[in-house]
Amino acid sequence: MKIKLEKIEKDFIYTHLIFVIICTIVLLMPFSIGIRLFILIIIYNILVPVVGKVRKHTNWFNLWIFVFILSLFQIFPDWFLSAQLNILVFPEDGLYKIGTVSGYMLGLWVIPLFIIIFVGIRSIEKYSERTTYFIVSLLSLIIFGFAEATMWMLPSWYPQNVTTILGHIALYIIVPEILFGLISYYLFIKIKDTNYLKYIGVTFLIMLLYLGSASFFYFFIEKVIPMS
- What's the pLDDT tens digit per position in 140-152? 999 999 999 999 9
Residue 31 in domain:
no
Rounded Cα distance between 200 and 135, Å, is 26
Question: Identity (one letter) of the amino acid at 165?
Answer: I
pLDDT tens figures, 15-46: 999 999 999 999 999 999 999 999 999 999 99
- With a pLDDT cut of 90, the percent of the chain lying above it is 92
Report residue 166's pLDDT band, with 50, 70 and 90 as the boundaries.
confident
The total of other beta-carbon atoms located within 10 Å of residue 82's CB is: 21
The 8 Å CB, 24+ separation contacts for 30-33 are 31/94, 32/93, 32/94, 32/95, 33/93, 33/94, 33/154, 33/155, 33/156
How many domains, the chain? 1
Examine residue 226 and say whether the peptide bond preceding it is cis (omega within 30 degrees of 0). Answer: no
Task: Compute CA 142 distance to the chain's CA centroid, rounded to the nearest angstrom.
Answer: 11
Please give the pLDDT value at position 2: 56
Give yes or no for residue 199 having a pLDDT over 70.
yes
Rounded Cα distance between 165 and 37, Å, is 26
Residue 50 in domain:
no
Please give the pLDDT value at position 87: 97
Residue 36 in domain:
no
Please give the pLDDT value at position 42: 98
Please give the pLDDT value at position 58: 87
Give yes or no for residue 55 having a pLDDT over 60.
yes
Average pLDDT, integer, range 97-118: 98
Residue 196 in domain:
yes
SS3 206: helix
Cβ atoms of 90 and 82 closer than 8 Å: yes
Rounded Cα distance between 143 and 212, Å, is 21
Residue 70 in domain:
yes
Cβ atoms of 76 and 209 closer than 8 Å: no
Report residue 3's pLDDT band, with 50, 70 and 90 as the boundaries.
low
Give yes or no for residue 205 having a pLDDT over 90.
yes
pLDDT tens figures, 82-103: 999 999 999 999 999 999 999 9
Give yes or no for residue 1 having a pLDDT over 80.
no
Please give the pLDDT value at position 38: 98
Residue 63 in domain:
yes
Average pLDDT, integer, range 174-194: 97
Q: Which domain holds residue 135?
A: 59-222
- Give the contacts of 214 (CB within 8 A, at least 6 positions apart): 77, 81, 172, 173, 176
Give yes or no for residue 167 having a pLDDT over 60.
yes
Give yes or no for residue 169 having a pLDDT over 60.
yes
Average pLDDT, integer, range 194-214: 97
Please give the pLDDT value at position 106: 97
Residue 167 in domain:
yes
Average pLDDT, integer, range 179-193: 97
Residue 100 in domain:
yes
Rounded to 10°, the helix 110-124/174-191 angle is: 60
